[in-house]
Amino acid sequence: MASRKLRVLARFYSFSLSDPSLAEVLAVVLGLVVGVSAVLLIFHRSAYEAALYATPISPFGGVKPYVPGYINPPTQPSEEMIYMAAGTTYPSMIYKYKLQIWIVWAVSQLSVLYPLIRRVRASIISAAGILNKSPLVFYWAGLLPVVLVVAGQSLSFYILALGVGDVFFNYISYEMMTEYVAGVLLYGVALGVWFYTITVTSGRLEIGAMYILLASLGIDRLVPDPGLLLIVSILFTAAGIIVLYTLLWRRWLRI
Amino acid sequence: MKASTFAMAVILVYIGVLLIGYALVLDGAGLPGRFVGYYQLDGIQIMYGLARQSGSPLIYEWVVAGVLKPGNTTVNVGIESFDNLLCSNGTSPFELTVSVGDSSISHNSLNASITLYRQNALIISHVKVVVNTTMCRINPDQVYVYVEANVNEK
């Protein structure tokens, strides 16, 4: 009975226990560098396209004339209006590339989490220290680190997106930006919760990883607008936590 | 390597990569250092005659926007494809005005140039071409205005 309890505990607790090898360290560093560079390129491309979108006429276009007192001058957009148009288009351009951002995010997340949870069965002894604790320990010892890693990376992506927008336009619609970026990245947090739930309840990291990649492909079709994505992400997170708690509680009672 | 040391290393590497990436964005990495646009002055053949009859100048005014590396930038504007310069006082029939931000310059010639420092990648300039129809007599053809912006080397 004790060994079964240890096995169950180990699945949940060992997220923060495994020591990675040198090869894994190198893989993580490479994953992070590639992940951050890729997302930076996507933000850069979004800002570039937003700037072109806000351009009033093409660099090879024709210009209409006017004659004072005879033909009224055509309306010219002010500098502020162009900056504003670019700044408000930028978040929607990021949203357009949400699938790419999400795949980059998922791959870099997996590159960080994979070495830490690879040795699920190897760390059974390390889990012995929590034998007499409440099942809630899994939330702060297992789920919380995962959510913190996910939220930390999401926040840094958000700051990076704002930084790129600031360099390009010196104007960003913070309200829109928050809605768009938070929607996409909260979706990431929601899937992080489910990744943890699926991995630890099945005991198979591959199933969790497969789920996270399949879900990343689904984001493009799942929700049509950022507001709805935000709501779905919050509900998804809540549902993940409830399912995890229910599974935990049932397993705990069965032991 | 211990898991705790590894976690710290991951955070440090992550922050380092973010800072390097942001510094590259600030520097304008990946952005072009030159912008060129050719704008046709539409209907100049017809409108020149109308403006001349009403005794008013013919005016073309538009906004040029593009993306360039931030930094010291020179914007050149010039009239192209125009050979018939026939002002009575020997001057150009065109007055070119270029405005970028708070800087503005006007030239009564076929070229105008302005140099300024830009902090943002998006460059927005207003170009105004005033065609003098009272003192000058021109035979308008297809007239193009080129706008060229170059980021000067640091």
ipTM score here? 0.79
Note the pLDDT of residue A6: 60
Note the pLDDT of residue A30: 77
- Residue of A143, A147, A118 lying closest to A209 (CA atoms): A118
- Residue of A162, A145, A144, A40 lying closest to A101 (CA atoms): A40
A128 touching chain B per CB within 8 A:
no
**Per-residue pLDDT tens for B5-38?**
766 777 787 788 888 888 888 888 888 899 999 9
Taking the C-alpha atoms of residue B113 and residue B111, their distance in angstroms, rounded to an integer, is: 7
Whether the per-residue pLDDT at A128 is higher than 50: the answer is no
* Residue A62: alpha-carbon gap to chain centroid: 44
Burial of A252 per CB tally in 10 Å (0-12, 13-18, 19+)? middle
Whether the per-residue pLDDT at A99 is higher than 70: the answer is yes
CB distance A17–B63 less than 8 Å? no
The residue of chain B nearest to residue A62, with distances taken between CA atoms, is: B40
CB distance B120–A44 less than 8 Å? no
- Domain B31-151: top CATH class: mainly beta
Could you tell me if A189 and A144 are in contact, meaning their C-beta atoms sit under 8 angstroms apart?
Answer: no
**Per-residue pLDDT tens for A130-164?**
555 565 666 666 677 677 777 777 777 777 888 88
* Domain locations along chain A: 2-55+75-254
Least confident of A110-124, A241-255, B72-86: A110-124
CB distance B124–A79 less than 8 Å? yes
User: Of B46-55, B60-69, B103-112, where does the model show the most confidence?
Assistant: B60-69
Least confident of A36-45, A69-78, A99-108: A99-108
Taking the C-alpha atoms of residue B6 and residue B9, their distance in angstroms, rounded to an integer, is: 5
Q: Output the average pLDDT for chain A.
A: 74
Whether the per-residue pLDDT at A225 is higher than 80: the answer is no
